[in-house]
A and B are shown apart, each in its own frame.
Chain A
């Protein structure tokens, strides 16, 4: 009896499997005409990084709504297909293949976290689809010629830029205040290592009299920083740099508060001046310096205020750094589509190389997609002192992009990228 009932079950599962095959096949008509342009978006919609996917989808949706409202591409509307990759690189690779092969997406906006972004890079290396990376800030994605692809553009900030901006600012403060002994405390994953390593490298160059007296690498996503924080107490540095971000930097600061670590030690981070993080900090230490992630008041222009308000109106929550990055990446893609009246990856890529667009997030209202390494430049970066209330950052010093370019080129040479 058991055997029979089991066979029944097996047959059912077999049929389900067959159904999967059929369902997975594209059921969109392949005809021309008013078929929508489909943009696939692999991103994180569950687990600890849900905020990334919410930000990215909200921002891309806002831009696409406007594009469609203006009539689309000769009446062809754009449809955004966002799908959860669970922050897992293997799942990201699978989801991208599914978006391209089963859903018939024409273009990709990859809003996956770093590991997923690299996995997606490998998929489109093979398929050749046009892809805009909007979340991964890890430099090698576009800087390393072995990883860079002609069909992939980064519409996000980049660690090496942030690191130079941070180091340049930190060097000035270090000189004024005599901060010689530095410690670092960053998550042990690609972004954390990259952000910290490049900050340290740049700091040593710009301010050669500083030394790093200790570094701690808490496991990425480790909920607890206690042991590495107490290490700070014993080492007594003059200043601390951290590349924790999102919920982790909030937990990091909450835990540091228990030891009053940052009462005496100034903290430097590229990641705190972001609306989604700073609002969660209940007790702000006296001397925290942060780079601008996303603030409605930086750049303090009407365009940025308007974008912030439109974002909040459409999506409910505050925009994050990931929101503006995805907004910028999407804007480039839409501008290229408008300009070329095409959705052919090669044509779009040609248009995107070196393209400059009007954008609320750029220096002087302009952003550029640098042709040589297909990455975003001239976005607004500044560093300042963090405040507990709006505008959240004061005495902001804008970073000079010529300085960034100078040290970036040196860095690329040292890595053998150019």
Chain B
């Protein structure tokens, strides 16, 4: 598919979503679509690392939380417009992503995963502990001001909904461009065999770092949208359970197909909300459903994963 065609498809998709949301005029539908947009973006951003670079991050929610808190705190100063605050937040995310990423990408496999977890929990401890700034476990209180800009008033739920969908779809298209670019193919090469990539002249570490930062930026953007949506920010946004949720989303949907994480996010949110609505024993039902999907539909999800795994170097246990 050409980039132009993708752009058109993306625009059509966004238009359809917005049309559905606005024409039904139902707050519940708008709520559902907004959350799906935000979590789809979170899952897509994580998949730059997991699916395309082969780096399983256990700490991706740190960017989500970082974005939500930095943006929320900036807005609460009442001295800055929404686009400016978002730009500053994304810039700050770049710095944080570069610093933490430079350290994390020195490791591989499960050690990388645990280091990302450690960084995330460090950030979480700061958020939870710095009560005078962040409100600690109560989150950012008093609401997040949403002054109008360029004729857009995000205090209107409908306008916020339209903006959320547009930003999410544009971000998805941008991520698509990134993974389809030569850079994206270099990432796949690193994922499949880092040694060979290095041998072929790919600057492996630099590319990994760039992927880490890019993934963080989009994760942070999802966090910004979330803070606008809930008009606040909570420590949970940076907690490891949300990282776990994001991983579950991409595994459910599939990590090798570009839209897999989107479908995973939809499936996960649907399961979460629907099961919680129908039964108090949502833990048991959700657990069984997850088991059935992971173990039962192995052929659907795991076949693809298998291909990916086989193309990597064999595990040490399997070596003679």
Asked whether any CB of chain B lies closer than 8 Å to the CB of A222, the reply is: no
Inter-chain contact A13/B137, CB cutoff 8 Å: no
User: B residues within 8 A CB of A8?
Assistant: 300
Inter-chain contact B136/A190, CB cutoff 8 Å: yes
- The winner among A14, A84, A91, A97 for most chain B CB atoms within 10 A is A97
Cα distance, A2 to B137, chains bound together (Å): 45
Inter-chain contact B280/A84, CB cutoff 8 Å: yes
User: B residues within 8 A CB of A190?
Assistant: 136-138
Give residues 336-365 of A contacting B (CB, 8 Å): none
Inter-chain contact B231/A9, CB cutoff 8 Å: no
Q: In the complex, which of the residues A21, A121, A126 contacts B29, with contact meaning CB atoms closer than 8 Å?
A: A21
Binary contact readout B131-164 vs A (1 if CB under 8 angstroms, 0 otherwise): 1000111110111000000000000010000000
User: A residues within 8 A CB of B253?
Assistant: 10, 13
Cα distance, A100 to B232, chains bound together (Å): 19
Inter-chain contact A20/B231, CB cutoff 8 Å: no
Q: In the complex, which of the residues A26, A122, A189 contacts B230, with contact meaning CB atoms closer than 8 Å?
A: A122
Give residues 87-132 of A contacting B (CB, 8 Å): 88-91, 93-95, 97-98, 100-102, 114-115, 118-119, 121-123, 125-126
Known interface pairs A98-B31, A122-B231, A189-B137. Does A90 touch B236 (Cβ–Cβ under 8 Å)?
Answer: yes
Inter-chain contact B277/A25, CB cutoff 8 Å: no
Say how far B305's CB is from chain A's closest CB, in angstroms: 10
Binary contact readout A13-26 vs B (1 if CB under 8 angstroms, 0 otherwise): 11011011101111
Cα distance, A89 to B143, chains bound together (Å): 14
Say how far A287's CB is from chain B's closest CB, in angstroms: 32
Q: In the complex, which of the residues A13, A23, A147, A193 contacts B141, with contact meaning CB atoms closer than 8 Å?
A: A147
Asked whether any CB of chain B lies closer than 8 Å to the CB of A402, the reply is: no
Inter-chain contact A115/B257, CB cutoff 8 Å: no
Give residues 186-202 of A contacting B (CB, 8 Å): 188-190, 193
Inter-chain contact B270/A20, CB cutoff 8 Å: yes
Q: In the complex, which of the residues A46, A97, A138, A189 contacts B31, with contact meaning CB atoms closer than 8 Å?
A: A97
Inter-chain contact A20/B266, CB cutoff 8 Å: yes
Which of B20-28, B42-50, B101-109, B187-195 contacts its partner? B20-28
User: A residues within 8 A CB of B230?
Assistant: 90, 93, 119, 122-123
Select from chain B the residue with minimum beta-carbon distance to A126. Answer: B231
Asked whether any CB of chain B lies closer than 8 Å to the CB of A5, the reply is: yes
Inter-chain contact B29/A9, CB cutoff 8 Å: no
Give residues 269-297 of B contacting A (CB, 8 Å): 269-270, 273-274, 276-277, 280, 282-283, 297
Inter-chain contact A24/B142, CB cutoff 8 Å: no
Say how far B172's CB is from chain A's closest CB, in angstroms: 15
Binary contact readout A372-395 vs B (1 if CB under 8 angstroms, 0 otherwise): 000000000000000000000000
Inter-chain contact B269/A20, CB cutoff 8 Å: yes
Inter-chain contact B266/A84, CB cutoff 8 Å: no
Cα distance, A83 to B236, chains bound together (Å): 19
Q: Number of B residues whose C-beta is below 8 Å from A?
A: 55
Cα distance, A103 to B300, chains bound together (Å): 35
Select from chain A the residue with minimum beta-carbon distance to B259. Answer: A10
Asked whether any CB of chain A lies closer than 8 Å to the CB of B110, the reply is: no
Q: In the complex, which of the residues B32, B143, B263, B299 contacts A20, with contact meaning CB atoms closer than 8 Å?
A: B32
Say how far B39's CB is from chain A's closest CB, in angstroms: 11
Known interface pairs A2-B303, A89-B139, A101-B28. Does A45 touch B280 (Cβ–Cβ under 8 Å)?
Answer: yes
Asked whether any CB of chain B lies closer than 8 Å to the CB of A146, the reply is: yes
Cα distance, A94 to B245, chains bound together (Å): 16
Inter-chain contact B143/A24, CB cutoff 8 Å: no
Select from chain B the residue with minimum beta-carbon distance to A100. Answer: B27
Inter-chain contact B231/A5, CB cutoff 8 Å: no
Say how far A187's CB is from chain B's closest CB, in angstroms: 10
Say how far B295's CB is from chain A's closest CB, in angstroms: 15
User: B residues within 8 A CB of A24?
Assistant: 28-29, 31-32, 273
User: A residues within 8 A CB of B137?
Assistant: 114-115, 189-190, 220
User: A residues within 8 A CB of B219?
Assistant: none
Say how far B57's CB is from chain A's closest CB, in angstroms: 20
Inter-chain contact A83/B276, CB cutoff 8 Å: yes
Inter-chain contact A101/B234, CB cutoff 8 Å: no
Inter-chain contact B231/A125, CB cutoff 8 Å: yes
Q: In the complex, which of the residues B136, B263, B277, B299 contacts A5, with contact meaning CB atoms closer than 8 Å?
A: B299
Inter-chain contact A119/B232, CB cutoff 8 Å: yes
Asked whether any CB of chain A lies closer than 8 Å to the CB of B51, the reply is: no
Cα distance, A395 to B180, chains bound together (Å): 76
User: B residues within 8 A CB of A122?
Assistant: 141, 143, 230-232
Inter-chain contact B139/A6, CB cutoff 8 Å: no
Asked whether any CB of chain A lies closer than 8 Å to the CB of B36, the reply is: yes
User: B residues within 8 A CB of A114?
Assistant: 137-138
Select from chain A the residue with minimum beta-carbon distance to B276. Answer: A84
Known interface pairs A83-B276, A189-B137. Does A90 touch B237 (Cβ–Cβ under 8 Å)?
Answer: yes
Say how far B269's CB is from chain A's closest CB, in angstroms: 7
User: A residues within 8 A CB of B33?
Assistant: 21
Asked whether any CB of chain A lies closer than 8 Å to the CB of B304, the reply is: yes
Asked whether any CB of chain A lies closer than 8 Å to the CB of B35, the reply is: yes
Select from chain B the residue with minimum beta-carbon distance to A91. Answer: B236
User: A residues within 8 A CB of B231?
Assistant: 122-123, 125-126
- Known contacts A5-B303, A8-B300, A89-B139, then 18 further A-B pairs from the complex at CB < 8 Å, ordered by chain A residue: A2-B307, A6-B257, A6-B300, A9-B301, A10-B259, A13-B252, A19-B270, A20-B274, A21-B20, A25-B26, A84-B280, A93-B232, A97-B28, A97-B31, A101-B31, A114-B138, A119-B234, A125-B231
Closest 10 CB pairs of A and B: A101-B28, A20-B270, A17-B266, A102-B28, A101-B27, A89-B234, A9-B300, A189-B137, A13-B267, A118-B138
25 A-B contacts (beta carbon < 8 Å): A2-B304, A5-B300, A10-B253, A10-B259, A13-B263, A14-B263, A24-B31, A24-B32, A24-B273, A25-B24, A45-B280, A46-B280, A89-B232, A90-B226, A98-B277, A118-B138, A119-B139, A122-B141, A123-B230, A147-B141, A147-B142, A188-B136, A190-B136, A190-B137, A190-B138
